[in-house]
Amino acid sequence: MDNNQPPDNTDPLKGLTTRERKFVLLYCQYQNAARAAREAGYSARSAKQIGHENLTKPYLLTAISAVMDQYGMPVGECIGRLTKWGRGSLRPFITETGEITLTTEEAQDNLELLKKVKHRKEVRTTEEGETIETTTIEIELHDPKDAVDKMMQVHGRYKQVPGDAGGKPRAVYTLPDGTTLEF
């Protein structure tokens, strides 16, 4: 393909060479240009350079973006998921008696709120020979604070200042009006 001519817009891979097609698909999979170039059939010695060069070609960037849009998580879904995590509650997973359940209809409808589930079964025998079986379920939700933080950034309410993670633990935020907040 002539590097100065963009591919046909109906199929993001149409008009690309075989290696370019492979590069685009592998880059979308690995997010590593050198690896994608190597596995697409470019020289192992020059894979890093070729991968970098490929990421400067507008028609390949367009193809990568189109493939990512096609197979990736759309922005609306990302925002919807963050919103659900930000509003998440343990309520769907707690019975009226205070026990954790994952089997109710409400719990099943809210499984995406869960970050981690631990299910532990312990069997022990008493001195009298009685077998006692104990089942413990622990759940952890995605952190709503992190989800709200990301949503505030998405809506442009503040941005995190680079370098605030070093040294003593603190958070520095700059609001759109220029006000700086430290926590």
Tell me: the pLDDT tens digits for 14-68? Answer: 999 999 999 999 998 888 999 999 999 999 999 999 999 999 999 999 999 888 8
C-alpha closest to that of 12 among 70, 97, 75, 52: 70
Q: Are residues 63 and 27 in the same domain?
A: yes
Q: Do the domain assignments include residue 106?
A: yes
* Confidence (pTM): 0.50
Domain membership of residue 174 as a residue range: 144-182
R_g over Cα of the chain: 25
Residue 161 pLDDT level (bands cut at 50, 70, 90): low
Region of 158 (left: φ > 0; alpha: ψ -120 to 50; beta: rest) is beta
Query: What's the domain count of the chain?
Result: 3
What proportion of the chain, given as a percentage, has pLDDT over 90? 60
Q: Do the domain assignments include residue 13?
A: no
Q: Cβ neighbours of residue 178 under 8 Å, at least 6 residues apart?
A: none
158: which 2 tokens?
Answer: 């503040």
Sheet holding 159-160, edge to edge: 159-160, 172-174, 180-182
Q: Name the least confident of 38-47, 65-74, 99-108.
A: 65-74
Q: State the pLDDT at residue 75.
A: 75
Q: Are residues 88 and 133 in the same domain?
A: yes
Q: Do the domain assignments include residue 10?
A: no
